[in-house]
Amino acid sequence: MDRVTVSEAAECLGVTPDAIRQRVRRGTIQHDKEPDGRVYVYLDKSHIPPQDAHDNLVDALRDQVETLKTELADWKAEAQRKDTIIMSLTQRIPELEAPSEPRESSVPKTEGESTTPEEPPRTWWRRILGT
């Protein structure tokens, strides 16, 4: 076991010195405190991750970041495409609005058919309430 300072332990383990101090407070890492207040941590080979595992992790994280950047660009392009479609449809709304004058019916009227619009049938709940 190696006896190292908190900052050296943090460097060896690839974490911040605050993380090492938290481990000391929780008692999850062997340590001792000198009379002058300086804290030393004991590290053995099981605490230190192999360098190739660390490199593999860093490479995997970089790959994941690149994938996320690509996905973000794709989502932004899709949102831009949808915004363009919505804008073009919104510009066509005045063309699609109903005319203010009623259209004449193309079906000829039969005898006895009134020219005034009929009152729509009352719904069941209006009949019950008497409105």
What DSSP string runs through the chain?
-EEEEHHHHHHHHTS-HHHHHHHHHHT-S-EEE-TTS-EEEEE-TTTSPPHHHHHHHHHHHHHHHHHHHHHHHHHHHHHHHHHHHHHHHHHHHHHHSPPSSPPPPSSPPPTT--SSPPPPPPPHHHHHHT-
Do 33 and 68 belong to one domain? no
> For residue range 93-128, what is the model confidence (pLDDT) as tens digits?
877 666 666 666 666 666 655 556 667 777 777 777
pTM: 0.38
The number of distinct structural domains making up the chain is 2
> For residue range 29-56, what is the model confidence (pLDDT) as tens digits?
899 999 998 999 998 876 666 666 677 8
Answer yes or no: is 59 within a domain. Answer: yes
Instruction: Tell me how far apart the alpha carbons of residues 70 and 62 are, in angstroms, rounded to a whole number.
Output: 12
Do 29 and 56 belong to one domain? no
- Domain range for 24 is 2-43
